[in-house]
Each structure stands twice: as structure tokens, then as C-alpha cells.
Chain A
Amino acid sequence: MTFDLILRVGTKLILPFILLFALYVQFHGDYGPGGGFQAGVITSGMVILLAITCGLDLAHRIAPQAMVEKMIPLGVLLYAGTGVAGLLLGKNYLDYSVLSHDPVHGHELGIFLVEAGVLITVTGTMTALFYAFVERGR
């Protein structure tokens, strides 16, 4: 199966910027709109765009199926683990104030970890769903 040259080159040109925008949405979520969920969908959208225009094999090379499937539980574990860390350090579940010496820093760190967990799970799930449907159609 051959793919259109213009689409292929154009996609490869904008691919890093899509990923950069996803990271911006993720890490700028503290200041502007966005967060883990939106960034995760944009990241998986990048992989899906690559798979549509350049073929599934290339997408598998940058996001291997095994890795994507492991990301789904990994994000939930990171999120729940952040909660358990608060529990082990002597406060309530999902209380971030004990994660750092300063309560405000602890909250910032907790929100960062939790958003990272959401990002990992959403990216993994959306990409794995796409892979599952495409594999089925082969």
C-alpha cells in the first residue's frame, strides 16, 4: 500500500509541533486551559495521524503496541500511588501537602504527578483503542 507523498512529508513536518503542543497543554495546565486528559488525546492523535498517513508500521515503531498497552495501567498506578504516598507519610489518601517539606510545594508536586498519571493512561487507552480497531480490519 502506497501513501501520498505530500501527506507523508506534511505530516512529518507538523508531527513534532503536535507533540510540542500536547506537552504545552500538559505542563501549562497549571496556568491556562488544559491538563492531562486533553494532552493525552492530542498525543494519541499524533500517533493516529502518523498511522493514517504513513502506515501502521511506522506508528508501531514510535509507539510500540506493548508499550502502549502497559501505559494504560501505569497511569492509574501512578495516580493511585500518589494517593498511597500521602497515606504512608501520615496524612489522608490523596492529601498532597506531605509530599514536600512545604505544603504548597507538596500540592504542586501532587497535581503534577496526578496529571502525569492521567496523561499516561489517556494516551495509552486512545492509542490502544485505535490499534485494536485497525488490527481487526487487517
Chain B
Amino acid sequence: MALLTLLAIVTLAIIRQRSLFGVVILAGIYSFLMASVMIVLDAVDVAMTEASVGAGVSTVILLATLHLIKSTEMRSVRPHLLPMFVTIVTGAVLVWGTLGLPPFGTADAPIHKHVAPRYLADSIKETGVPNVVTSVLADYRGYDTLGETTVIFTAGIGVMLLLRGSRRRGRADEEKAKS
């Protein structure tokens, strides 16, 4: 509960903040709080990912972006009514959706009934890997992880293609300076 309160406070601070540098730092704090929430929920793998990607790498990349653009948020000239309406409706629908979920931690929730018992019973015998998360991710769900790796590959190539033009020019300048 304390963590969720802190999350709400940080979110409000992000909304009020007009300096984008502050927003980036607050977003890093938000990611760390989210990682703590994941640890409380016993999802340590997700917590590690959130802390290293959300708070580490993406903060650095956002700061590098801020170096390229102006670092103060412009005041919006349009009224906020329509975006506000869309946000509130989406949020309400999401909260309404959670009402249909079984309570957290119930053993007879559908997700614990489907394939999970077989993974827990047989994964060490079949794969020799004690960590079920790893054996599910890399073995039983190998196709999904291959897809995720391909997504990362595509994203990396895409960003590099977008930013390449100026980099080539930079290299040419360096070579000119050398000769």
C-alpha cells in the first residue's frame, strides 16, 4: 500500500512538473518503485528487468534525447477536456476489467490450473534446469522468446536506420579532420 501511495505521488509530480529533466528523473524513480512492487509480488525476474531497463537504460537514453531537444515542456494551447475524457474512460474500463479477475494469490485461479502444474511437476525431469521461469521461457515457450528477441532486433535496427544519416556525416567530418 505504501508503495502504491508513493507511485501515485510520483505520478502526480510527473504531471505537475514542467521541466523535462525533472520528469525523466521522476520516471526513473517511478521505475524503481515499480520494481519494488514486482519484488513484493514475488516476480523477481520482472523486477530486475524493470530496474535495469526502466530506471537504468531508458533514463540514460531519455537524457541523451533531452540533450538534443528543448528541455522545458511547452504550454498546451488546446483545452484538455477531450484527452481528459479519453483517459478517465480508459482508466475506468481497466479498473472495471480487474473486477472480473480472481483475487491475487488464489490457488484455483484459471492461470494456475492450465499448464502450470505440468511445468512445475515435470520441468526438472525434462530439462534439467531447476528454475522453472527459465525453462518455461527458453524451452516450453521458445517460440515466444524467439519472437521477443526478433522484436528487440527490429527495434534496434529501426532506431539505427533513423539516426544513421547524421552519424555518417559525423564520421566523414572525423576523417577530414584526421587527414
Interface residues, chain A, with chain B CB atoms under 8 Å away: 25, 29-35, 37-38, 41-42, 44-45, 48, 52, 69, 72-73, 75-76, 79-80, 83, 94, 96, 103-105, 107-108, 110-111, 114-115, 117-118, 121-122, 124-126, 128-130, 132-138
The reply to whether A114 and B44 contact each other, CB–CB distance below 8 Å, is: no
Contacts of B82 in A (CB 8 A): none
- Who on chain B is nearest to A86 by CB? B142
Between A and B, 12 residue pairs with Cβ closer than 8 Å are A41-B53, A42-B52, A72-B157, A76-B150, A76-B153, A94-B146, A107-B139, A110-B142, A111-B134, A118-B145, A132-B160, A135-B170
The reply to whether A72 and B153 contact each other, CB–CB distance below 8 Å, is: yes
Known: A38-B48, A42-B52, A69-B160. A137 touches B68 (CB 8 A): yes
CA distance A130 to B61 in the complex (A): 6
CA distance A136 to B167 in the complex (A): 6
Chain B contact patch, size range: 35 or more
**Cβ 8 A contact of B138, one of A33, A52, A111:** A111
The reply to whether A135 and B149 contact each other, CB–CB distance below 8 Å, is: no
Q: Which of B11-19, B26-34, B89-97, B123-131 contacts A (4 or more CB under 8 A)?
A: B123-131
Would you call the interface of chain A mostly helix, strand, loop, or mixed? helix
Interface residues, chain B, with chain A CB atoms under 8 Å away: 44-45, 48-49, 52-53, 56-57, 60-61, 64-65, 67-68, 125-131, 133-135, 137-139, 142-143, 145-146, 148-150, 152-153, 155-157, 159-160, 163-164, 166-167, 170
The reply to whether A35 and B137 contact each other, CB–CB distance below 8 Å, is: yes
